[in-house]
Amino acid sequence: MSSSAMADTIVLYPSHGIGHMISTVELGKLFLKHRPSFSITIFITTGATSPYVNHLIATTSSITFHHLPAVELPPTSTSLSPEELFFEIPRLNNPYVHQALQDISRKSNIVAFFIDFFCNASYQVSSKLGIPTYYFFTTGASTLCHFLHIPTLHETIPKNIKDLHDYIQIPGIPPVYSQDMPKGMFDRESKAYKLILETAIQTGKSSGILVNSFAALESRAVKALSDGLCIPKEQTPPIYCVGPLIASNDGGSQSDEHECLSWLNLQPSKSVVFLCFGSLGLFTAEQYYVSIMKLCLVEELVNVSFLALTGFLKRTKDKGLVVKSWAPQVDVLSHDSVGGFVTHCGWNSVLEAICAGVPMLAWPLYAEQRMNRLFIVEEIKVALGLTESANGFVTAAEFEKRIRELMDSKIGKAVRDQVMAMRNSAKAAIQDGGSSHLAMEKLIESLTKG
């Protein structure tokens, strides 16, 4: 079959984290919305499957999910940090990715390969095959400013970030306190640091970068990126802000008759504070006991037997609900009775709260979440911050004070008004002629013009 007679295929390669999977599936659906004639394939790696992801796959028939064979991790992998493992699994997958891309190329015309930054190792495979390779950055434009600036920071900051107790200037974003950077950036000699640096350099040389954000949300960062300020010595690839891409209720959600939604139906409008800390969020027992259990109304990922032992469930029976495992977060956030969201600042959670118009209290835990807190509190102003002690501990008094501020104060009202304004901007961005819609059209035109 000549390539002109073959279907145009887009191949997407997410990292195995649930947050990365959700937005990648939504990106696949967005391509189909813009060009129903496209065929979309998503590579699934070992570790990506969970009941939630299996449900997502089973209910998204418009997309082909290609399961890469399970890779065998070498015995030394037990010494890897979580970040290193996120990079390592795709590296081990390279032979399978090569095979899969070749197989797909025989039957269709791969117009582009979109990879998560954790899948950076696959760049060499796709570029050897002559396939245009783009990065899909599942977090925001402000984080991308930092990410693309990492090679410059590497050259200009001579010491380890962990030893630098100072603010760092990066184009497009407020000054970042060194200790708020992702832990993987702390030590120049660590494997994680080297992998991140290598990936940042490669991303800066790619065919383009898609970002899960919209222009009005992060206007300063988007401008710095499009002005090429974050990669001062070289040309910045085209940047496409195509978001917000958040889990939709048409496939990913397993909310049918979830008990927490029935419980929310009984609560007064805007009275509930929802606490949820992503797919990996964990606290020490002390932190649970001292702060969260004093106030918690809806909680997630909690060791329920621990809570039961302490009498917490009994005490809060009439005013709160604990969801024992996975909560239908998008549905909870869009429920009328929810008036505030305590979040770990994962980017999907941030976008979901914005799209539902729910103001946030930012309690970052891992990865780039401390930087996300800076952006959503200081720059976008859709969240309030919490003051932590040096070891990250939040006292019950501080937690209570901030919850009250969020739910019942002038400061909280300003945040609520701003989140509603951003919600409207998000809606406008994805409508025909909106900024994200136009960015997607521009991208597709550039993919198909050759």
Q: Where are the beta strands (DSSP E) in 277-392?
A: 298-299, 321-322, 338-343, 360-362, 383-385
Stretch of residues binding ligand UDP (CB under 6 A), selected from 159-167, 193-201, 215-223, 271-279 = 271-279
3-state secondary structure 385-447: ECCCCCCCCCCHHHHHHHHHHHHCCHHHHHHHHHHHHHHHHHHHHHCCCCHHHHHHHHHHHHH
Q: Which residue from 318, 323, 330 is spatially nearest to 259, judged by alpha carbons?
A: 323
Residues 6+ apart with CB under 8 A from 24: 12, 14, 42, 114, 116, 136, 138
Judged by CB under 6 A, does residue 396 bind ligand UDP?
A: no
18 binds ligand UDP (CB under 6 A): yes
Q: Terminus-to-terminus CA distance in the chain, angstroms? A: 18
- Inter-CA distances, 178 with 150, 162, 370, 391, Å: 13, 7, 10, 15
Our CB check for ligand UDP shows the closer of 54 and 99 to be: 54
Please name every residue paired with 133 in a beta bridge, in sequence order, or none if there are none.
113
Which region, judged by CB under 6 A, interacts with ligand UDP, from 116-124, 178-186, 340-348, 430-438? 340-348
The span of 65-73, 174-182, 221-229, 275-283 binding ligand UDP (CB under 6 A) equals: 275-283
Least distance from ligand UDP to the Cβ atom of residue 279, Å: 3
Number of residues in contact with ligand UDP under rule CB under 6 A: 19
> Contacting ligand UDP (CB under 6 A), which of 278, 339, 357, 412?
278
**Of 348, 372, 425, 436, the one binding ligand UDP by CB under 6 A:** 348
**Which of 176, 272, 276, 298 forms a contact with ligand UDP (CB under 6 A)?**
276
The nearest distance, CB 325 to ligand UDP, in angstroms, is 7
Helices (H) and strands (E) in the chain, counts: 19, 15
Distance CA(350)–CA(405), nearest Å, equals 19
- Residue with smaller CB distance to ligand UDP, 96 or 366: 366
Beta-carbon-side half-sphere exposure of residue 68 (alpha carbons within 13 Å): 29
- Residue from the set 41, 352, 376, 377 that interacts with ligand UDP by CB under 6 A: 352
Q: Does 361 bind ligand UDP (CB under 6 A)?
A: no
Q: Report helix, strand or coil for 341.
A: strand
Among 120, 279, 287, 316, binds ligand UDP (CB under 6 A): 279
| Minimum CB distance to ligand UDP smaller for 138 or for 178 | 138
133 vs 212 by CB, closer to ligand UDP: 212
Given the complex with ligand UDP, which of 17 and 28 has the nearer CB atom? 17
Radius of gyration of the chain from its Cα atoms, rounded to whole angstroms? 22
Shortest Cβ distance from residue 365 to ligand UDP (Å)? 8
Sites for ligand UDP among residues 292-311 (CB under 6 A): 300
Q: Which amino acid is at 206?
A: S
Q: Is residue 112 near ligand UDP by the rule CB under 6 A?
A: no
Q: Which of 122, 151, 114 has the alpha carbon at shortest distance from 236?
A: 151
Alpha-helix runs per DSSP H in 304-360:
304-309, 312-315, 329-333, 347-356
237 or 278, CB closer to ligand UDP? 278
Nearer to ligand UDP, 112 or 322 (CB): 322
CB of 431 vs ligand UDP, minimal distance in Å: 22
Q: Where are the beta strands (DSSP E) in 84-139?
A: 109-115, 133-137
Q: In sequence order, what are the beta bridge partners of 54? A: none
Which region among 64-72, 102-110, 160-168, 348-356 touches ligand UDP (by CB under 6 A)?
A: 348-356
Among 14, 17, 171, 208, binds ligand UDP (CB under 6 A): 17
In the bound complex, which residue of the shown chain has the CB atom lying closest to ligand UDP? 346
Q: Which stretch binds ligand UDP (CB under 6 A): 66-74, 217-225, 326-334, 378-386?
A: 326-334
Cα 279 to chain centroid distance, Å, stands at 11
Selected from 14, 19, 171, 172, the binder of ligand UDP by CB under 6 A is: 19
Spell out a b/e string for 326-342, using b for 16 or more CB atoms within 10 Å of the CB, else e: bbbbbbbbbbebbbbbb
The answer for residues whose C-beta is within 8 angstroms of residue 40's C-beta and 6 or more apart is: 9, 10, 12, 28, 31, 32, 62, 63, 64
Q: Which is nearer to ligand UDP, 22 or 242 (CB)?
A: 22
Using alpha carbons, select from 371, 366, 368, 345 the residue that is nearest to residue 168: 371
Q: Give the residue with the Cβ less far from ligand UDP, 215 or 330.
A: 330
Beta strands (DSSP E) in 186-300 are: 209-211, 239-241, 272-276, 298-299
Q: Scan residues 169-208 and list those touching ligand UDP (CB under 6 A).
A: none
Site string for ligand UDP, 234-253 (x = CB under 6 A): -------------x------
Binding site residues, ligand UDP, CB under 6 A: 17-19, 22, 247, 276, 278-280, 300, 326-327, 329-330, 346-349, 352
